[in-house]
Amino acid sequence: MSPAATVSNDVDGDGNKKAKIHKVVPHEEWVQARKELLEAEKEFSKKKAELAQKRRDMPWEEVKEDYEFEMTGGKVVKLSELCQGEDGTVIIQHFMFKGGDNGCHLCSFFLDGFNSIYPHLKPRANFCAVALASPEDLEKVGKKKGWNFQMVSARKNTFQKDYGVNWGQDDVDSGSALYNYGKQQWKFGTMAPGISVFKKADGKVYHTYSTYAAGLADLNATFALLDITPTGRSETGGSNNMWWVKQKENY
């Protein structure tokens, strides 16, 4: 069998299909190519494990304020009370949502995935979404989406601001809304996405990790599965990233 080329459909950042050429080879040649890729994957896995260890080895910072979050029915829960599971840990998604029928569709995309793994995660670490919306709007959206994790409101505290995902409009307009540890001037509204981790130990709460921007992508199972397909995510980078993501009820 001689090598040939086949045309498969790919999609650019504007949703237009474009041609992509793939070689077609005999089985023996395919296996050899796969073995070469396997070596690269093994090296990547090793580096990834080393990076994960560096995350675990990060120093902690004490959280001086035990933030109070609103729940429905006038109830309040403290950050220290969200630190649950056998390890006293909570993973928080900073949810871009101020109220209405739906929050940010990209945040919702991540939350859909986290909801599916929540039963496996909960014994080890709690997971919670924090937003500026009212508790009632959060409950409404959670029921609509079928989310089972806890959702709480930070509308009456500075939690979102303190962890780098909320600014005033004046800050955005002046270019002083710094995101991702100052790597980026945020220009896309007054809210931004992120994930933060907190751990309770010896009666205190510590901030152990936060990630923003492209750092969030490693936490998404949909990306991981698409990345093993020939077409991948069909993204061209930059402003076109995640152009294909919708609220799940809109597909």
Q: Residue type at 175?
A: G
First to last CA, the chain: 41
Phi/psi at 188 (5° precision): -110, 50
pLDDT tens-digit map of 8-56: 455 555 556 666 678 899 999 999 999 999 999 999 999 999 999 999 9
How many angstroms separate the Cα of 213 from the Cα of each of 129, 142, 180, 185? Answer: 17, 24, 7, 12
In the prediction, which pLDDT does 2 show? 45
Model pTM?
0.90
Beta bridge partners of 4: 24
Pairing mode of beta strands 184-185, 194-201: unpaired
Phi/psi at 160 (5° precision): -65, -40
In the prediction, which pLDDT does 9 show? 52
pLDDT tens-digit map of 107-122: 999 999 999 999 999 9
Provide CATH 3.40.30.10 ranges for the chain: 61-219
**Phi-psi domain of 190 (left: phi exceeds 0; alpha: psi -120 through 50; beta: other):** alpha
Average pLDDT of the chain? 92
CATH superfamily, domain at 61-219: Glutaredoxin (3.40.30.10)
